[in-house]
Structures are given as C-alpha cells and as structure tokens.
C-alpha cells in the first residue's frame, strides 16, 4: 500500500475531549475517528487491525465442537424482550427506534432463543452452538474510555444449546480454552476471573487484562493466574478471599475483554425453547453465552502496548499489526519504488512514498507501529543497502539491496 494513498492520516493532536490512552493513540495514528461520544469510525488502518482480531476469534471459535458462525439482526422486536422479562433491565441501555416497538440489540439472547425454538425441535439436533461478529448498541452512561466502552462496538457473541446441564458445562470448559488461545494470540495475558452470574446463574467467568485503565477490580491468586471480581467479594477480611489470594490481599485493575455465562434455563423456560427428548417429552434446553468485546480488545492492546509522551507509539503484537513492514523511503527520487514493487505481492507492506521530512515519517511510523521497518536513505545506501529495524527492540542491520526479498520474507 502506498502511504500517500492511505485513507486516514496521522494527527498531531488527538481530539481535545479524548482522555484515554487508547483513543488518543488510535486517533493520532489514523486508526479511528470519533463521530460522537462512544461512536467511532475505523479507518482502513483500524479496520485492518480489527480484521486480524476477527480472524483469530473466528479460527478459535470454529475449532469448538458443533459451532457455526451466523448473523442475527441488530433491530430487535421489543416483544421478545417482554417475553424474556428483561425489557425493564435494559430500559436505559437499549436504544429504541422511534414510533416502532423495537430497539437496537445490546446483546442477543432473546433473538437467538426465539430463533432456536423455531429451528430446532428434536434432541437429535443437539448439541449446537452459534456465534456472530456484529455491532452491538448500548447507551452507556458516560463513554470516555475510547474503544473500551463504546455506544456501538464490535462483539463476538456465541450461544450454546444442550440437552443437559452436563453438556452445557462441557462446552463451557471448551470455550474457556478457546478464549485463552484467542487472547494469547492477540498478545494479551487475560486472567480467568470468577464473577457474578447476574440474574442468569450462580457464577460467570470473565477474562480480565490487568491494566491501570481497567474499570474492574480483580483479586488475584498467589501466582496471578486466577482472579475474582470485586463484585463477588463482600469484604477484604473475608477468610475466603484471603485464602484465595494466598494469605494477603492481592488486587489490580482489570479490563474485561470477555465474559462467559452458563445461562442454564434462564431464557429457554420463559421463551419456551424446548426440544423433544428420546422419551418423547419436551425439555427446555440448557444454554450458555460467550462474549468477546472485539473493539474493546483492540483498545486493550493499545493500553498495554502503547506509549504516550513525546514519542507516542503503538508497538503492535505482530499478529495484529496493520502491516508487517513499514518501508520508509527517504531518497529524494523514491528509489525504493522498485523494491516495494518487488515485495508487495508477497508481503503486507506500507510504503511511505510521501514527500515529508525524515522526522515526520518516523513519528508517523511510531504511531502506526509495524513490527518491522525498512529505511532507504542516502546513508543506508552508502552503508550498502537498506536498514532493517525491529521496532520493539530498536535492533537494526543493513541488508544489501540484492538480499532484501529473501531477508524480509524470512523475517516478517
């Protein structure tokens, strides 16, 4: 991609009302643009990162047994929410469509339960699970954390249907493993955290990335591998939480990047989602739901890997970087063009062909944060070729022009 043609530009300043590190860096890097509080456009750069996350989520979800991707509507008849009995709980959060008995979907238990009961009739069709990746709408009170809390945001939501509670819990454990794989591939350490089951069940599990920016407080076990959300801890002197933390309280802020719930019969009973059993009776299905905040995950990666200050930068994990290589051409006559042409078909590469100063180009490259950088300049040519820099470590070496292609294909 020619950088001169990229839709979206780096900015010297983030919008004045952006306070969070993720929103400041992503706005400055030309990844996102705020339309209104909690509502963002994703420029091509931002969309590339989002697509990488989605790809990872999809690969790991598709590995789960009997799990299929689909798409459900964003417009929800309120009638279904009356049926589940949740309309009142969501009265502040759901955006309503004027003059219509419908609203924009903040989550999809009602839609999927209704769909299930009109689709599946026999125990022979179970177990089955579906997921979708889609924009969710929630009228959050004061969205000021950038991508961490949007009024519309990208979510992966999955729903499982089983004949028995045991079946549900088996899938639930598999989902935990898939989630662990997803976060790890995204470069995040997410702590499996016990949390409240809300109105659904006795418990749920969250995946919390420890960060100053997190809104949640998470108590941690001795080696920091398991957490317990403050919302289910009555008191720090409670012997239970002390034992959990290994004798003395350990806690940190966390960003909830995912949440899984055994829904049990919470939706199937009121909405009559039942199947015919082997014995010829009707049995309500055991459901679970599994959410990942895709756009929040993107913001979380920037909270963890981004740096503000006089040299603002985002050092993307290689798995999520919008481009593997940023090729900065500082020659006055764009001598790098031939090299770029040779590499572009087999490499995800951004070619900075713009007429700017070296300082401006490097500052932009820091914000864009590709893991590898190629720099072609009079100086690099005098040293024998192109400079190859690993962004995270700053390590650099000169690669002869004739070796560029093999070297970079092996590296990036």
Question: Which residue, 113 or 259, is less far from Mg ion as judged by CB?
Answer: 259
Question: How many helices and strands in the chain, by DSSP H and E?
Answer: 11, 22
Q: How far apart are CA 302 and CA 26, in angstroms?
A: 8
Are 69 and 58 spatial neighbours (Cβ–Cβ below 8 Å)? Answer: yes
- Answer for which of 31, 153, 267, 323 binds ligand ATP (CB under 6 A) is 153
Minimum CB distance to ligand ATP, residue 182 (Å): 12
Could you tell me which residues come within 8 angstroms of residue 363 by beta carbon, excluding any fewer than 6 positions away? 10, 311
Residue 376's DSSP bridge partners are 329
Based on CB atoms, which residue is closest to ligand ATP, 231 or 281? 231
Beta strand 128-137 with 67-69: parallel, antiparallel or unpaired? parallel
- Could you tell me if 43 and 32 are in contact, meaning their C-beta atoms sit under 8 angstroms apart? yes
Q: Which C-beta is closer to Mg ion: that of 167 or that of 197?
A: 197
Which span (50-58, 223-231, 255-263, 329-337) binds ligand ATP, by CB under 6 A? 255-263
Task: Tell me the Cα Rg of the chain.
Answer: 24
Q: Which is nearer to ligand ATP, 131 or 391 (CB)?
A: 131
Class of residue 215 by CB neighbours under 10 A (exposed 0-12, middle 13-18, buried 19+): exposed
Asked if residue 110 binds ligand ATP (CB under 6 A), the reply is: no
345-349: long-range contacts, CB 8 A cutoff, minimum separation 24: 346/409, 347/408, 347/409, 347/412, 348/323, 348/324, 348/412, 349/1, 349/323, 349/324, 349/325
Closest residue by beta carbon to ligand ATP: 293
Given 21, 149, 266, 326, the residue binding ligand ATP (CB under 6 A)? 149
CB of 297 to ligand ATP, least distance (A): 7
Distance (Å) of CA 385 to CA 325, 335, 340, 407 = 17, 12, 14, 12
| Binding residues for Mg ion (CB under 5 A) | 259
Residue with Cβ nearer ligand ATP (3 or 204): 204
CA distance 33 to 197: 35
- Closest distance of CB 108 from ligand ATP, Å: 10
Q: How far is the CB of 261 from Mg ion (least distance, A)?
A: 8
Count residues binding ligand ATP (CB under 6 A).
15
Rounded Cα gap, residues 59 and 64, in angstroms: 9
Q: Decide if residue 303 touches ligand ATP (CB under 6 A).
A: no
**Among the listed residues 53, 56, 115, 155, the single contact to ligand ATP using CB under 6 A:** 155
Among 29, 46, 146, 150, binds ligand ATP (CB under 6 A): 150
371 binds, among Mg ion, ligand ATP, none (CB under 5 to 8 A by kind): none
Q: Where are the alpha helices (DSSP H) in 308-376?
A: 337-343, 358-368
Sign of the torsion angle spanned by Cα atoms 161, 165, 170, 173: positive
Cα distances from 230 to residues 18, 248, 252, 261, in angstroms, run 28, 15, 10, 17
C-alpha 214/C-alpha 255 separation (Å) is 4
By CB under 6 A, tell whether 190 contacts ligand ATP: no
Q: Which lies closer to Mg ion via its Cβ, residue 59 or residue 231? A: 231
User: What is the pattern of x (binds ligand ATP, CB under 6 A) and - over residues 57-96?
Assistant: ----------------------------------------
Of 147-155, 275-283, 341-349, 367-375, the segment contacting ligand ATP by CB under 6 A is: 147-155
**Closest CB to Mg ion among residues 10, 107:** 107
- Told to check if 258 binds ligand ATP by CB under 6 A, we report yes
Which residues are CB-neighbours of 24 under 8 A, at least 6 positions away? 14, 18, 146, 308, 312
Q: Which is nearer to ligand ATP, 153 or 161 (CB)?
A: 153
Site for ligand ATP contains 34 (CB under 6 A): no
Measured distance CA(329)–CA(323) in Å, rounded: 16
Closer residue to ligand ATP, CB minimum distance, 227 or 291: 291
Work out whether strand 282-284 and strand 102-104 pair parallel, antiparallel, or are unpaired. Answer: unpaired
| Partner from Mg ion, ligand ATP, none contacting 127, C-beta within 5 to 8 A by type | none
The answer to the question of residue 107 lying near ligand ATP (CB under 6 A) is yes
Q: Which stretch binds ligand ATP (CB under 6 A): 49-57, 290-298, 314-322, 350-358?
A: 290-298
141 three-state secondary structure: coil
Give the three-state DSSP class for 30.
Answer: coil
Summarize as ranges the residues that interact with ligand ATP (CB under 6 A). Answer: 107, 138, 140, 149-150, 153, 155, 256-259, 291, 293, 295-296
């Amino acid at each position: 991609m020619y950088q001169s043609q990229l839709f979206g530009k780096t900015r010297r300043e983030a919008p004045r009302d952006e306070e969070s590190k993720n929103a400041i860096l992503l706005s400055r890097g030309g990844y996102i643009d705020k339309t209104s509080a909690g509502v963002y456009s994703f420029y091509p750069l931002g969309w590339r990162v989002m697509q990488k996350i989605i790809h990872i989520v999809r690969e790991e979800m598709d590995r789960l047994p009997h799990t299929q991707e689909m798409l459900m509507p964003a417009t929800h008849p309120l009638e279904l929410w009356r049926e589940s009995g949740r309309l009142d709980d969501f009265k502040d959060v759901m955006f309503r469509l004027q003059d219509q008995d419908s609203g924009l979907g903040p989550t999809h238990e009602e839609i999927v339960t209704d769909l299930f009961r009109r689709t599946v009739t026999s125990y022979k069709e179970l177990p089955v699970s579906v997921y979708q990746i889609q924009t969710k709408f929630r009228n959050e009170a004061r969205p000021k954390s950038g991508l961490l809390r949007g009024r519309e945001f990208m979510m992966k939501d999955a729903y499982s249907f089983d004949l028995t509670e045991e079946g549900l819990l088996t899938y639930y454990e598999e989902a935990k493993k898939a989630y662990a794989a997803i976060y790890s591939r995204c470069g995040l350490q997410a702590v499996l955290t016990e949390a409240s089951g809300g109105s659904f069940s006795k418990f749920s599990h969250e995946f919390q990335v420890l960060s100053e920016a997190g809104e949640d407080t998470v108590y941690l076990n001795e080696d920091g591998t398991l957490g317990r959300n403050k919302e289910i801890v009555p008191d720090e002197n409670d012997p239970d939480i002390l034992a959990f933390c290994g004798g003395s309280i350990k806690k940190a802020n966390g960003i909830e990047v995912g949440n899984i719930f055994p829904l049990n019969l919470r939706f199937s009973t009121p909405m009559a989602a039942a199947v015919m059993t082997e014995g010829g009776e009707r049995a309500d299905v055991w459901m679970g739901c599994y959410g990942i905040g895709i756009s929040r995950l993107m913001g979380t990666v920037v909270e963890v890997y981004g740096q503000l200050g006089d040299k603002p930068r985002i050092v993307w994990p290689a798995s999520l970087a919008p481009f593997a290589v940023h090729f900065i051409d500082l020659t006055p006559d764009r001598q790098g063009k031939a090299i770029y042409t040779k590499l572009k078909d087999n490499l995800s590469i951004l070619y900075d062909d713009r007429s700017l100063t070296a300082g401006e180009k490097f500052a932009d490259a820091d914000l864009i944060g590709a893991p590898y950088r190629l720099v072609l300049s009079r100086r690099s040519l005098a040293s024998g070729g192109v400079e190859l820099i690993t962004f995270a470590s700053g390590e650099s070496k000169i690669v002869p022009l004739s070796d560029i292609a093999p070297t970079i294909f092996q590296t990036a």
